[in-house]
A and B are shown apart, each in its own frame.
Chain A
Amino acid sequence: GAVVSQHPSWVICKSGTSVKIECRSLDFQATTMFWYRQFPKQSLMLMATSNEGSKATYEQGVEKDKFLINHASLTLSTLTVTSAHPEDSSFYICSARGFGGADTQYFGPGTRLTVL
């Protein structure tokens, strides 16, 4: 089946630094990529939707200047957490959608971010 990778799988950084997370669709072209955030024992919260070559659409309450999303190609999207703070510590998950409806979203394994 379709495979989505994320890198890194976990990262620890100091408060005030920026962290970039990559999401790649390995064997298909992703017209749309989604970024989610997951807190312990809570559901996945959609942060933003990105389409290749255009600006991301952010969900209400998500700071677009803090969570920079770039979708420069059909196989790569990046999420950059700028000036990270401890409250940004979380599990970030991306998904990629090929051609078709919502059931063709393929999920990455997630990235655990810890901000000290």
Chain B
Amino acid sequence: GNSVTQMEGPVTLSEEAFLTINCTYTATGYPSLFWYVQYPGEGLQLLLKATKADDKGSNKGFEATYRKETTSFHLEKGSVQVSDSAVYFCALGGGGNKLTFGTGTQLKVEL
């Protein structure tokens, strides 16, 4: 079946540092891939997505590239801000519009 593995947190960075959160997946076929973000006290929000191999999703300075050869969808940002502190979930879309999530990675950005 489908599964998503992402790096454990928490990840603690200083403001303006470079961010990478690793995500790899196992799936049949070519699923769509997503990154969701959950700010404290709020619901999950779609951050970015990619629907086919070599697609790059981007939003709010975050980027992730769909790598079929390595079955990965790593999240990156060149310069994080304190306001980026949140929990980030990698997910893949399966049949019936169902989403399979990773365990989430908490990011803490300090001044």
Q: A residues bordering B, Cβ < 8 Å?
A: 4, 32, 34, 41-44, 46, 49, 93, 95, 97, 101-103, 105-110
Cβ contact of B32, chosen from A34, A43, A103, cutoff 8 A? A103
Q: Which residues of A contact B4 (CB under 8 A)?
A: 43
Cβ contact of B101, chosen from A43, A103, A110, cutoff 8 A? A43
Q: Is the CB of B34 within 8 A of A103?
A: yes
Q: Which residues of B contact A43 (CB under 8 A)?
A: 4, 89, 101-104
Main secondary structure of the interface of A (DSSP, over half): strand
A41-B103, A43-B89, A93-B44 known; A103 vs B98 contact (CB < 8 Å): no
Question: Min CB distance, A34 to chain B, in Å?
Answer: 7
In the bound assembly, the distance between CA atoms of A107 and B41 in angstroms comes to: 12
Cβ-based interface call for B43 (8 A) = yes
Q: B residues bordering A, Cβ < 8 Å?
A: 4, 32, 34, 36, 41-46, 49, 89, 93, 96-104
Cβ contact of A107, chosen from B43, B93, B98, B102, cutoff 8 A? B43
A43-B102, A44-B89, A101-B32 known; A107 vs B97 contact (CB < 8 Å): no
In the complex, the 6 A-B pairs of residues with the closest C-beta atoms, listed nearest first: A107-B43, A102-B93, A107-B44, A43-B101, A102-B97, A109-B43
Q: Which residues of A contact B96 (CB under 8 A)?
A: 49
In the bound assembly, the distance between CA atoms of A110 and B46 in angstroms comes to: 16
Q: Which residues of A contact B45 (CB under 8 A)?
A: 107
